[in-house]
Structure 1
């Protein structure tokens, strides 16, 4: 089993863009949330979320990502279960999502970007006062966060067997846990302080 520290070393070896790192940390947080919710291994699920886009900067095309990244992960001793989950998060690889962990990764990937974008345009610039209703208001505006694939977000929630807006709320809650690390505290004090 690979631990978070080892996964972070891989991330920092291949990823320099702080926004991409924040995306991967967001997906990690969401995966840990769902692992806890479903009684699964939060460390394993978290590592999958953390590593899923590790090769995006070196393979920034659909032809390459994440297929060309898989051999690199194997060289780093990443277990096949993790490699397979990462391969399955991209529809174009042809790797079917068969496990709950694989379905959760697909469900959590795109939605974190949309949530981040909505948080950043709010007066508070914070996750602490963000709810799915704010995300819902921006959902239909295709020009807003145009890179966030709404069809994939909806399909991911459906594959995971969860209502889309409940899923959005869950991912917001997960990302709140690491809001300071993501720079998404905004001008609101943490509810836990």
Structure 2
């Protein structure tokens, strides 16, 4: 396989995941990654595929997340660079194997947790994703009790890695998730 496609990512994830909320999370991260790819002038479908597949080993190994990515993806012919990109989103959290180095890896590291906050915020808004503003999302981000399981320190580390303003990353994620609001149920 030359490059991971979104279709192939969906096919692989179905083999290893059954929980509906994990598919929704995969779709949210995929949507955000597409918008980040656009920001960097990169291949949207490829970045979306990486985002969709990033938690491939989570359901089977929640306590060893990112440690089993290779054994799930190598037999599928997923390119080494894509495997490393997926492993890198657990850097300093579940693994020390690979520090995010590329824009794709840094984006995945950052948006993984950030999409959880955006999703939680959209669910409490009557209009869901429609018209969501960065300014109000920033208020929710600052409230540590809101979507408390989403690790703000990881997200902040990601902003820093990317060298982007928080609002700029938030805007990308909002736009990506708005484009795919139906798939996300938002």
* TM-score, scaled relative to structure 1: 0.89
Unpaired runs of 5+ residues, structure 2, are none
Corresponding position of 1:188:
none
Deviation of the 1:9 alpha carbon: 0.7
SS at match of 1:70: helix
Corresponding position of 2:116:
113
Unpaired runs of 5+ residues, structure 1, are 185-193
Q: State the distance in 2 between where 1:107 and 1:173 align.
A: 16
Q: Does residue 1:67 correspond to 2:70, yes or no?
A: no
Deviation of the 1:141 alpha carbon: 2.4
Q: Does residue 1:133 correspond to 2:135, yes or no?
A: yes
Q: State the distance in 2 between where 1:168 and 1:37 align.
A: 12
**Partner residue of 1:181 out of 174, 180, 183:** 183
Q: State the distance in 1 between where 2:43 and 2:105 align.
A: 13
Corresponding position of 2:26:
24
Provide closer, same or farther for how the CA distance between residues 72 and 165 of structure 1 changes in structure 2, counting only shifts above 3 A.
Answer: same
Matched positions, count: 181
Give per-residue Cα distances to partners, 1:66-95, cap 9 Å, x unaligned. 111221111111111110001111123221
Q: State the distance in 2 between where 1:35 and 1:168 align.
A: 14
Corresponding position of 2:151:
149
Asked whether the equivalents of residues 59 and 69 of structure 1 are also in contact (C-alpha less than 8 Å), the reply is: no
Deviation of the 1:37 alpha carbon: 1.8
* TM-score, scaled relative to structure 2: 0.92
Asked whether the equivalents of residues 106 and 156 of structure 1 are also in contact (C-alpha less than 8 Å), the reply is: yes
Residues 44-59 of structure 1 correspond to what in structure 2 (within 5 A)? 44-59=46-61
Give the CA RMSD over aligned residues: 1.3
Runs of 4+ in structure 1 off by over 2 angstroms are none
